[in-house]
């Protein structure tokens, strides 16, 4: 009995000691390696969008991907804003070659699409055999939307609580087939801050998003350009060989915190790839066309996107840097828990 009690005390002490994550860089995406670190998706759009996704060489030839020397060598990801199209406007959908399980993901964004009618930009993560491997929408919106929408999409048995964050919980059940919610709405939290998306984000010189994925929760922080914490500002320097170890415990209240007793995170999210894309119309932007101010511009989303290339001159991403951090203490916690079970 005494020995068992000692073991429990030691196990608890070990857990507390390593409870704070020790993040170190495991991946760094910037203009030096975007073309090689991401695959170019060229299939038909799974969301029925009015879009044609280009491969690497056609994208380079069309000048919708490249480096922006006048913007600190940020990676430029654009769309065709010159020509009219009957079969879908050319754009990009990039998927990371590497997969991830847990971690801290920091996105330094100087400019994004958004606020243009018909546009559906997103930075997200997706696992295999959707929705079983999960989906995390980190930065997303459509049409004339003015604030960011953050969403999880899962299979059954995952709902989240309505506290611990500053955003607005619009739907609590992450299941894409949840009863009482629109199909595929997932569990969604919207920001109240107009600087979090599109026109407002761009007018403020961009922003930084951070997403932490652990066994306990998926958490998102939004930092306007003029309010980036010091440890984050240090971490986002492109190519920095010593970006330090960001500490989310010092960042204050997140804009979104997906956590609930009825959702086992590790059961629903695994082997995820990062995705950056700009779609047009489709299941969201197209299906909500009539409910937005965009309906005054054209009868349908597809017609507007097809015939108005000049409307998409500003529908581009400028990405300074994306860093992925691995929690080195996680493996130690796992080893110590196993040792405490002897």
d(CA 112, CA 208): 12
Q: Bridge partners of 322?
A: 29, 107
Nearest one of 212, 257, 198 to 106, comparing CA atoms: 212
d(CA 150, CA 167): 9
214: phi > 0 → left, psi -120 to 50 → alpha, else beta; which? beta
Q: Bridge partners of 8?
A: none
Q: Bridge partners of 277?
A: 93, 122
Which positions are annotated as active-site residues?
135, 140
**Is-contact 10 340, C-beta < 8 A?**
yes
Contacts of 233 by beta carbon, 8 Å cutoff, 6+ apart: none
* Residue 36 structure tokens: 């090689």
* Residue 96 structure tokens: 């990371």
d(CA 140, CA 185): 13
Helix (H, G, I), strand (E, B) or coil at 280: strand
């Amino acid at each position: 009995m005494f020995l068992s009690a000692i073991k429990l005390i030691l196990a608890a002490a070990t857990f507390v000691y390593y409870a704070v994550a020790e993040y170190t860089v495991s991946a760094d995406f910037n203009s030096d390696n975007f073309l090689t670190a991401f695959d170019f998706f060229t299939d038909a759009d799974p969301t029925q969008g009015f879009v044609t996704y280009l491969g690497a060489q056609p994208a380079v030839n069309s000048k919708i991907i490249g480096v922006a020397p006048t913007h600190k060598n940020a990676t430029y990801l654009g769309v065709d804003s010159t020509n009219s199209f009957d079969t879908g406007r050319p754009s990009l959908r990039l998927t990371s070659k590497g997969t991830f399980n847990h971690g801290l993901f920091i996105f330094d964004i100087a400019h994004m699409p958004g606020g243009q009618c018909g546009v559906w930009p997103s930075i997200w993560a997706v696992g295999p055999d959707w929705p079983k491997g999960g989906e995390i929408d980190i930065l997303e919106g459509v049409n004339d939307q003015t604030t960011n929408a953050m969403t999880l999409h899962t299979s059954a048995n995952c709902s989240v609580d309505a506290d611990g964050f500053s955003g607005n919980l619009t739907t609590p059940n992450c299941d894409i087939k949840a009863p009482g919610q629109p199909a595929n709405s997932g569990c969604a939290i919207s920001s109240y801050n107009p600087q979090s998306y599109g026109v407002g984000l761009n007018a403020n010189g961009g922003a930084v998003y951070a997403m932490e994925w652990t066994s306990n929760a998926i958490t998102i922080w939004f930092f306007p350009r003029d309010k980036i914490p010091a440890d984050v500002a240090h971490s986002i320097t492109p190519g920095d060989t010593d970006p330090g170890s960001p500490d989310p415990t010092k960042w204050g209240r997140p804009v979104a915190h997906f956590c609930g007793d009825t959702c086992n995170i590790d059961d629903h999210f695994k082997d995820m790839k990062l995705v950056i894309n700009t779609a047009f119309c489709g299941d969201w932007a197209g299906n909500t066309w009539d409910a937005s101010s965009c309906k005054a511009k054209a009868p349908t989303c597809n017609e507007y996107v097809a015939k108005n290339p000049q409307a998409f001159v500003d529908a581009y991403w400028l990405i300074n840097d994306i860093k992925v951090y691995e929690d080195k203490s996680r493996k130690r916690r796992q080893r110590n828990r196993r040792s405490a079970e002897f």
